[in-house]
Amino acid sequence: MAASEYPKLNLSKSMSMFEEAQRLSPGGVMGIRRPYNFIQGEYPIFIDRGYGGHIVDVDGNDYIDMLCAYGPVILGYDEKEINDAVKRQMDERGFCFSLVQPAQNQLERALIDIIPCAEKVIPVKTGSDATTLAVRIARGYTDRAMVLRCGYHGWHDWCVENHGGVPEETLELTDEFEYGSLEALEAKLKEHAGKVACVIITPVGHPLAKPVMAPPKGYLEGVKELVKKHGAVLVFDEIRTGFRAALGGAQERYGVTPDLGTFGKALANGYAISCVAGKAEIMDVCQSKVFVSSTFFPNSLEMVAALKCLEILKREDVPNSIWARGTKFLERLRKVVADSGCPATVSGIPPMPFVTFDKAPGDEEKAYKARREYFYTQTIRRGLFIQPFHHWYIAHRHTDADLDKALWAIGEALELTMKKYPVGKV
């Protein structure tokens, strides 16, 4: 049976709340959660609850969520084991003190046991905290200022994509290079010879709104060799790949160990915690030379959540399970896209699939944007929550039925997209 358009979702409560939100806060909601990063008027803005691999918005619409809160939800929503452990800590021991609690040592031992580069660990709260601390450590260790970056590393001044409010002098201390090209990195290292404190790179390339790229054969090894040759510190930003690509991150999966690694998102299945892990010699600059402090970094609830999450990841072999299921999902996704005839690219690694729309010969310049907008309109109406500009995720609690329905929704959306926007007719 041919696919047909689904009606627009009822989002009246979301829209009403958004009107109020804009009176309360600039833009109503912040950053990548703003409506223009989705399809305006088609996506919900406020979520009521989550369960398993699903979310439910304030209007009662239920979605298979393959955005997974932008990555923290590696298991599923409302994980009872984790929540119960956190509640026990809260009720029996408390969580915010002038000094640290034993959970900090326990978590650091657990991370050192599983992350290849981890000889010492510093827990912080967000991905941006972790990447910024890694850069500060590298600068303190090398007594150099320049940072070479490849990938999205957060919202702090040294790496933010939107430069509003950032001094030009700060921006001049960071330079970007292209993922996958050793020649591009070598050229930057030579250009800034003797000044580079660190090279920070996402070991899996995931540029905004573009195909996700697994590291080409020999690439990460080549990066490591070049960085060492120039006396800089190599940092793997594993905020997204940590505990997903493998339990020890992409560095474990691809067999290349950096000097420092940053981890977050999936570490505690949604609780706000991240960390920098790395070689003791480099990390030890934080004993006195490099300052790091926060009232909330030592809070134990997130550490307890992380410990329980890591326990479940090991016990249920979650990274390998997600990798195996994601491999099958990507194979089927490639067939669905190929069969549709749509000019689109399937990319990603098994835990992080993505579809991007291509500029096809014979099309008008903006045809791919029209197809993208229409495609994501049709998928959200079918109860699949994915994002046009950010790769997707597979969570442990996504059922086979969830993944089957996701592929069905994608297939129907592509069929309708090609009927509405055939190649050469847009």
* CATH classification of the domain holding 387: 3.90.1150.10
pLDDT in the model for residue 111? 98
Mean pLDDT, the chain, integer? 97
The rounded Cα 237 to chain-centroid distance in angstroms is 10
Q: Which of 281, 296, 315 represents a domain boundary (last residue)? A: 315
Q: How far apart are CA 228 and CA 74, in angstroms?
A: 33
Q: 146 — phi, psi (to 5°)?
A: -75, 140
pLDDT, position 424: 79
- Domain shared by 333 and 296, yes or no: no
64 falls within a domain: yes
Residue closest to 395 by CA, chosen among 297, 302, 329, 301: 329
Residues in the chain: 426
Is 264 in contact with 273 (CB distance < 8 Å)?
yes
Residues 34-57 have a mean pLDDT of 97
Condensed to tens digits (0 to 9), the pLDDT of residues 251-299 reads: 999 999 999 999 999 999 999 999 999 999 999 999 999 999 999 999 9
C-alpha–C-alpha distance, residues 18 and 248, integer Å: 39
CB 421 within 8 A of CB 373: no
The reply to whether 425 falls in a domain is: no
Percent residues over pLDDT 70 in the chain? 100
Q: Give every CB contact of residue 96 below 8 A, 6+ residues apart in sequence.
A: 295, 296, 299, 300
pLDDT in tens, 399-420: 999 999 999 999 999 999 999 9
Do 184 and 54 fall within a single domain?
no
Domain-embedded: residue 2: no
Same domain, 328 and 201: no
Is residue 222 situated within a structural domain?
Answer: yes
Nearest Cα to Cα of residue 141 among 336, 283, 297, 317: 283
Q: Are residues 104 and 248 in the same domain?
A: yes
pLDDT at 207: 87
Q: What integer pLDDT is reported at residue 361 of this predicted model?
A: 86
Tell me if 1 is assigned to some domain: no
Yes or no: say if 274 and 130 are a contact pair by the CB < 8 Å rule.
yes
What pLDDT is recorded for position 387? Answer: 96
- Tell me: the pLDDT tens digits for 303-312? 999 999 999 9
Considering the domain architecture, whether residues 86 and 35 belong to the same structural domain is answered as: no
The pLDDT assigned to 209 comes to: 82
Same domain as 132, residue 106: yes
The CATH number for 114's domain is: 3.40.640.10
Amino acid at 405: K
Residue that terminates a domain, selected from 281, 315, 349: 315
User: Does any domain span residue 34?
Assistant: yes
CA distance 198 to 337: 39
pLDDT of residue 223: 98
Count up the domains in the chain and report the number. 2
Same domain, 307 and 349: no
Mean pLDDT of 105-113: 98
Q: Are residues 192 and 295 in the same domain?
A: yes
Integer Cα distance of 276 and 142 in angstroms: 17
pTM for the model: 0.96
pLDDT in tens, 342-371: 999 999 999 999 999 999 888 888 999 999
Report d(CA 219, CA 145) in Å as an integer.
Answer: 25
Structure confidence at residue 3 (pLDDT): 86
Q: Are residues 331 and 403 in the same domain?
A: yes
Between the two ends of the chain, the Cα-to-Cα distance in Å is: 26
**Which structural domain, as residue segments, surrounds residue 49?**
12-77+318-420
Q: For the chain, what percent of residues have pLDDT higher than 90? A: 95
Q: DSSP letters along 49-61, please?
A: EEEBTEEEETT--
Residue 1 scores a pLDDT above 90: no
Residue 5 in domain: no
The predicted structure's pLDDT at residue 341: 96
The reply to whether 142 and 250 lie within a common domain is yes
Q: Which residue has the tokens 């039925």?
A: 401
Taking residues 120-130, report their average pLDDT: 98
Q: Is 238 strand, coil or helix?
A: strand
| 426 domain residue, yes or no | no
Which of these three, 290, 315, 340, is where a domain ends? 315
**One domain, residues 348 and 201:** no
Pair (35, 168) in one structural domain: no
